[in-house]
Every structure is written in structure tokens, then in C-alpha cells.
């Protein structure tokens, strides 16, 4: 395989996934074998808690090879001139990352601020982040939604909230 071929193989999503799955499976295999050998309570293989993880990891390695085979076939099919990396519509990565970050911050803030204030902040931040610019609407919706969720879950359904 020439340099271009190698590059396009490395940029192939299946190839990257194969490496990831292979590494995870190998790590699980080593971890399971080590713990089976060293833990006092594991006993024979037939009752060992690490029997199933070992089988899973072995299967995972086979799957990594299968993904690699898929990647090789895709790269060959794409040919030397075509770019093997798939290009779809550009995803809204900023919005997605902001959503995850806001959710993580919400989890950390909840025990400090209590449920309703933290929820108002969380919702308000996300409404703005997703493109809403009318402040009154953002405020009104955040307060109403947080209150409604508290009333429904905390009061009506008796769900314990942080």
C-alpha cells in the first residue's frame, strides 16, 4: 500500500474504531487474566467471575479485526483518488458540547443551589445557547418549566429531587 493508501486507511472511521475496540478488548483480556490469577476468591475457571469477561474480550478482538477488514475494503473501493473520509452535513458541535457542559454543570450546581434555582439557570442557559434571544421569553419559560417539573415530579409523583 502506498503512502496515500495508508493515510486514507488511518483516516477511515472503521479503522480508527477497530484500533479503539482492539485496544479496549486487549486491556480487558489482560485485566481479567491478571485478576483471575491474583484474586484469592476466583477459584477455578468454571466458576471464575472473569470467565465471561475473557470470552467477551476475545470476541472483541475478533470484532476489531472484522472492522479492520471493513476499513480495508472501503479504502480499496474508494480508490486512490477518492477521499475515504465520509463527509455529511456539518454537525453543530458547539451546541452539542455546550449542552453536555451545561448538563454536567447542572449536576454539580444542584446540591449547592437546590433544584428549582439550578434548573432555572440550566434551562435559561440552554435556551440561549440553542438560539433563543428574547430574554423575557427565556426567563418566563425557564421559571415555568422548572416550576412545572418540580410540581409534577416532586409534589404530584413524590419523586425525590436533589
Partner 1 sequence: MDAMLHALAYFVQPKFVLLCGLGSIAGLFVGSIPGLSVSMATALLVSVTYTWPVNDALATVMGVYVVGVFSGALSAILLNIPGAPASVVTTLDGYPLAKRGEAYKALKYAAVYSFVGSVFGLAALALLAKPIAAIALRFQPMDYFLLALFGLATVGGLTAGSFSKGLVSATFGLFFSMIGMDSVLGTPRLTFGVRSLNAGISTVPALVGLFGFAEVLSVVSAGQLDAEANSITRQTVKIRDMLRELRHSLYYSLIGVVVGALPGAGGPVAAFLAYSQAKRIVKQPSRPFGEGAVEGIVASESANNACIGGALIPMLTLAVPGDAVTAIILSVFYVHGLRPGPMFLTTGAESFYAILGGGFIGCVFLLLLGLLVAPRLSGILNVPGTFLMPIVGLLCVVGAYACNNRLFDVGLMLFFGVLGFLMRARGYPVAPMTLAIVLGGMMDANLRRAISLASSADSRLSALFGRPITMVLLALTLFSVVGGIPPVRRALNRRKETKAANE
Query: Which residue has cell 454539580?
Result: 108
Q: How far apart are CA 13 and CA 35, in angstroms?
A: 33
Question: Is there a contact between 52 and 24 (Cβ–Cβ < 8 Å)?
Answer: no
- Tell me the window of 1-9, 37-45, 77-85 that interacts with partner 1 (CB under 8 A): 37-45
Angle at 72 between CA 70 and CA 75, to 5 degrees: 110
Please, what sign has the CA dihedral across residues 93, 99, 100, 102? positive
Q: How far apart are CA 27 and CA 50, in angstroms?
A: 13
112 belongs to the binding site for partner 1 (CB under 8 A)? no
- Tell me the window of 3-11, 76-84, 88-96 that interacts with partner 1 (CB under 8 A): 88-96
Which one among 1, 10, 82, 161 touches partner 1, defined by CB under 8 A? 161
Query: Which residue has cell 444542584?
Result: 110
Please, what sign has the CA dihedral across residues 136, 137, 142, 143? positive
Contact flags string 134-153 toward partner 1, x per CB under 8 A: -------x---xx--x---x
- Tell me the window of 2-10, 75-83, 107-115 that interacts with partner 1 (CB under 8 A): 107-115
By CB under 8 A, name the binding residues for partner 1: 13-14, 17, 21, 25, 28, 31, 35, 39, 41-43, 46-53, 55-56, 59-60, 63, 66-67, 69-70, 73, 89, 91-93, 95-96, 99-100, 103-104, 106-107, 110-111, 119, 122-123, 126-127, 130-132, 141, 145-146, 149, 153, 157-162
Amino acid at each position: 500500500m502506498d503512502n496515500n493508501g495508508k493515510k486514507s486507511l488511518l483516516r477511515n472511521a472503521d479503522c480508527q474504531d477497530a484500533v479503539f475496540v482492539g485496544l479496549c478488548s486487549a486491556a480487558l483480556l489482560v485485566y481479567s487474566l491478571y485478576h483471575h490469577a491474583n484474586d484469592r476468591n476466583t477459584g477455578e475457571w468454571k466458576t471464575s467471575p472473569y470467565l465471561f469477561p475473557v470470552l467477551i474480550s476475545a470476541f472483541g478482538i475478533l470484532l476489531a479485526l472484522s472492522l479492520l477488514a471493513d476499513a480495508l475494503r472501503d479504502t480499496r473501493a474508494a480508490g486512490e483518488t477518492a477521499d475515504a473520509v465520509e463527509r455529511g452535513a456539518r454537525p453543530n458541535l458547539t451546541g452539542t458540547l455546550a449542552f453536555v457542559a451545561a448538563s454536567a454543570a447542572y449536576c454539580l450546581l444542584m446540591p449547592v443551589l437546590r433544584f428549582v434555582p439550578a434548573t432555572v439557570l440550566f434551562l435559561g442557559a440552554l435556551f440561549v445557547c440553542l438560539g433563543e434571544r428574547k430574554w423575557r421569553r427565556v426567563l418566563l419559560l425557564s421559571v415555568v418549566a422548572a416550576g412545572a417539573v418540580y410540581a409534577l415530579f416532586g409534589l404530584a409523583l413524590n419523586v425525590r429531587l436533589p
